Chain A
Amino acid sequence: MQYQTYEHDVIVIGAGGAGLRAAIEASAAGCSVALICKSLLGKAHTVMAEGGMAAAMANVDDRDGWKVHFADTMRGGQYLNNWRMAELHAQQAPDRVKELEAWGAVFDRTKDGRILQRNFGGHRYPRLAHVGDRTGLEMIRTLQDHGIHQGIEVFMEMTAHTLLQESGPGSRVTGVFGYDRELGRFRVWKGKAIVLATGGIGRAFAVTSNSWEYTGDGQALAYRAGADLLDMEFVQFHPTGMVWPPSVKGILVTEGVRGEGGVLRNKDGHRFMFDDIPDNYKNQTAKDEEEGWRYVTGDKNANRPPELLTRDHVARCINREVKAGRGSPHGGVFLDIAWIKEKIPNAEAHIKKKLPSMYHQFMQLANVDITKVPMEVGPTTHYAMGGVRVDGETQMSTVPGLFAAGEVAAGLHGANRLGGNSLSDLVVFGKIAGEHAAKYAKANPASRVSDEQVDEAARRALAPFEKGARGENPYLIQHDLQETMQANVGIVRTENEMARALEDIQKLKARAANVGVPGNREYNPGWHTAIDLANLLCVAEAVTRSALDRPESRGAQFREDYPNKSEECSKFNIITRPVNGGAEMRVVRQPLTPIRDDLKKIIEEQAK
């Protein structure tokens, strides 16, 4: 088998916020770094992040601090979080924001010239550093423009297919096998340490805010390499995606709309979010509309409006309104920012300034002027809290030499992620993963790459061409998988439906074994879809099995057959791992590590 070979100390797979930050860090530590990206540099999913990055800098409200941020993150995650990661994240996020500014990022400013911070769901104080509603673009461009001068070797439009290992699953990683999109040539990157930064799994669902790249590559690569996956049942459904027109269904409508004063109403014009406020948020939520407005306009004595409760809760409330027949014409509810014209002069200009992308998105895609009329929104698959199980200090997975950071890693967010915590997650843990991958690479000499493993991977990669046009159509299998996941493992789950999904997944796996594509290896999207399918099926199964093994409703998981939280289920995370040489997927309940006393005290104090 012919392939081109490269040698580096550290290989980073994925070039969004986490991958770029990891590559920059490893390079700064003196390592030679390969950065493999599935798309062109700067196009990764980070670019779509809108609202901002959470960091307790206390620029807008000086009562904020890392302890409050830590407690908010733990409460939002329903205490299934890896508390060490939540601690590091809250402590280090402010420095990562400042670092971005030193690298050229231009955040919106406060009146005294510092970085402005905005309100977001689940955050007690205004905490999100932002640039209008295009914060992700600012972050990725800053990291990209800084990163290209750090001596990192970038491989654009190349896909990692298999992790190479010393002696089979569970052993130390030795490199990456992959292919380039342009000509379909195989490549082997030999390396001492590997950082996965491949993002999420949204394409396993029919309605998603995620781009085509989000096919669970990193999770599946790690799983096949024998690494543990953690918390896979927790998939975040963002409450506000577009619902109309059909072709844009799922595209994100930033939480920033609500942070700027947007309110949710049903078809009767009723602000239904006031109807159901969870007990543990009662003393932090506005008692009426007037107080909610005071909060979003900066009154420090006011509590947040219920629209800014955590995403899991808001998504379920929207779902409830729609199911009860109180939804909007296209099966969503109304999100109204135009109403603020009753409160402030120049509302139209204000909305365009604060939410420019939202204005254009609705204008261009739906012919809706959000400065004049409400938007129609509904839940959309958005984020995977679960992923590769990592060590909180180092971000190393359970496979030696294999690290993970960003959405592909699990732990920080527990059962539900707060908005704004993902962008800070990327840079905080991207840096930590890069640092420790570099350390690992320096301490461990390169290992030999096995030709047999490479040949075996190449054989699997080429299999779809043997069947050609006679084989199963990869697009249709992907479509069927998305439909069954959406219908059966979505925002409201039951045992029967998930059992049906598992059956479907087994059938789809059999069909996928027969997948075929016509044409040749040059920039052939059919072939790429066929390869990504294996990853999607793997993560879909992990999500479903984990969800079945958690008979309760907590955070992002809502079980109609177990609508309440269970004390017993609050004591463990769920691990997914391969057994029988990878033939079978097993779920294991992993007891939580008892939280450190000082952190426990912080949580108790902040709950008052």
Chain B
Amino acid sequence: MPPVTFRISRGDKTSTEFREYTTEAGEGMVVLDCVHQIQSESAPDLACRWNCKAGKCGSCSAEINGQPRLMCMTRMDMIDTSQPVTIEPLKSFPLIRDLVTDVSWNYRVKKSIKPFKPRKPDAPDGTWRMQQKDVDRVQEFRKCIECFLCQDVCHVLRDHHKHPEFAGPRHFVYTAALEMHPLDTEDRLGQMKHEGGIGYCNITKCCTKVCPEHITITDNAIIPLKERVVDEFYDPLTRLFRMFKPKK
């Protein structure tokens, strides 16, 4: 492969600029390999996050030619290298430096969601019984590697900056995993409606499209959650029943 030119966004919250770097892309290399090579050849202080380099930890999220992707799972032979390849940080979060953004908001949102609360164990030895088919859908959600690409691409966060009022796709998936967990007894629908702002999502499915774990975020997590919220808060019959239901 001939040398490839990259345009990498450099800078911090005060200012950024694109700088060009050229490096050799060998057989089978991924974008993260090229970034590492650039670090060791010409830009040792180029900031980027990464850990596993195997698509399992979700650290190296970036926008490659405008597409939100994991740098470690994007092969050079998949992208057009006739033009310089652009690498930018995620846009939905404040920039720290170069390709690294401050994603701490996500950790705060997660902490605010009510934790797992299991029912009493099914067996005297303190264990439970669950059928595989009943855990399949929860296992899909639990594949999430918290790369936050779904948060990055969601226009409610990216364009409308609704961070304080909107939990974002990652946390809808997290909540769905808890709500649909066969053992869980907690109720988070009020949280989803109010603090989570799930009503803001207008199911454009951009999150599903970018998910590197292929979780069907919109169809399997967000829409069922929206339906539950509607049943709980807007269904006239349910409201009527609730008036006579003893308080929890």
Q: Measuring CB to CB, which residues of chain A are less than 8 angstroms from any residue of chain B? A: 39-45, 47-48, 98, 101-104, 106, 108-109, 112-115, 131-132, 134, 136-138, 141, 145-146, 148-149, 156, 182, 211-213, 244-248, 251-252, 356-357, 360-361, 364-366, 473-476, 479, 517-520, 522-527, 529
Contacts and interface: CB of A to CB of B under 8 A. Distances in A.
Contacts of B127: 98, 101, 114-115
B171 to A, nearest CB: 12
Given A141-B142, A523-B97, A247 B135 contact: no
Given A101-B127, A109-B132, A212 B50 contact: yes
Given A43-B57, A47-B57, A137-B145, A145 B49 contact: no
A280 B45 CA distance: 52
Contacts of A137: 56, 142-143, 145
Contacts of B52: 43, 45, 47-48, 211
Interchain residue pairs A-B with the least CB separation, the first 6: A245-B28, A526-B44, A519-B45, A113-B129, A104-B116, A475-B40
Q: Which of A39, A156, A366, A479 has most B Cβ within 10 Å?
A: A39
Contacts of B104: 156
B121 to A, nearest CB: 8
A590 to B, nearest CB: 35
25 contacts: A39-B51, A40-B103, A43-B52, A43-B146, A45-B52, A47-B51, A47-B57, A48-B52, A106-B139, A106-B181, A109-B132, A113-B130, A114-B127, A137-B145, A182-B96, A182-B102, A211-B51, A246-B27, A247-B29, A248-B54, A251-B54, A475-B39, A520-B45, A523-B96, A526-B45
A47 B145 contact: yes
B47 A131 contact: no
Contacts of B184: 104
A248 B55 contact: no
Contacts of A251: 53-54
A11 to B, nearest CB: 20
A131 B141 CA distance: 13
A104 B225 CA distance: 19
Contact of B131 (A113, A365, A474): A113
Contacts of A47: 51-52, 56-57, 145
Contacts of B128: 101, 113
A243 B8 CA distance: 30
B44 A473 contact: yes
B107 A41 contact: yes
A245 B27 contact: yes
Interface string B48-85: 11111111111100000000000001010000000000
B12 interface: yes
A366 B45 contact: no
A244 B97 contact: no
Q: Which of B47, B54, B116, B139 has most A Cβ within 10 Å?
A: B54
Given A475-B40, A523-B47, A148 B28 contact: no
Contacts of A131: 139, 142
Contacts of A518: 44-45
Nearest to B28: A245
Interface in B144-174: 144-146
Given A131-B142, A246-B27, A475-B44, A365 B130 contact: no
Contacts, number: 170
Contacts of B100: 523
A361 B54 contact: yes
Nearest to B106: A40
B236 interface: no
A96 to B, nearest CB: 13
Given A113-B129, A473-B44, A519-B44, A526 B39 contact: yes
B97 A522 contact: yes
A246 B28 contact: yes
Interface residues of B, number: 60
B49 to A, nearest CB: 7
Contacts of A39: 49, 51, 57, 59
A365 B39 contact: no
Contacts of A520: 45
Contacts of B143: 134, 137, 356
A104 B178 contact: yes
Interface string B7-26: 00000100000000000001
Nearest to A95: B126
Contact of A247 (B28, B39, B56): B28
Nearest to A136: B56
Nearest to B102: A182
Contacts of A476: 40
A116 B47 CA distance: 42
Contacts of B245: none
Nearest to A104: B116
A420 B191 CA distance: 38
B39 A523 contact: no
A115 B39 CA distance: 45
B110 interface: yes
B161 to A, nearest CB: 22
A162 B121 CA distance: 45
Given A131-B142, A365-B73, A525-B47, A357 B56 contact: yes
B55 A361 contact: yes
A146 B49 contact: no
Contacts of B138: 106
B199 interface: no
B12 A522 contact: yes
B39 A525 contact: yes
B146 A42 contact: yes
B212 to A, nearest CB: 9
B111 interface: yes
Given A102-B121, A361-B55, 13 more contacts: A40-B49, A47-B56, A102-B118, A113-B130, A134-B143, A365-B28, A365-B73, A517-B44, A523-B98, A524-B45, A525-B45, A525-B48, A526-B44
B232 interface: no
A112 B44 CA distance: 55
A396 to B, nearest CB: 29
Contacts of B40: 473, 475-476, 479
A526 B51 CA distance: 16
Contacts of B131: 109, 113
A100 to B, nearest CB: 11
A567 B104 CA distance: 55
Given A47-B52, A148-B110, A245-B28, A524 B47 contact: yes
Given A48-B52, A112-B129, A364 B139 contact: no
Nearest to B214: A360
Contacts of B144: 141
Given A39-B51, A131-B142, A519-B44, A247 B26 contact: yes
A40 B61 CA distance: 13
Contacts of B223: none
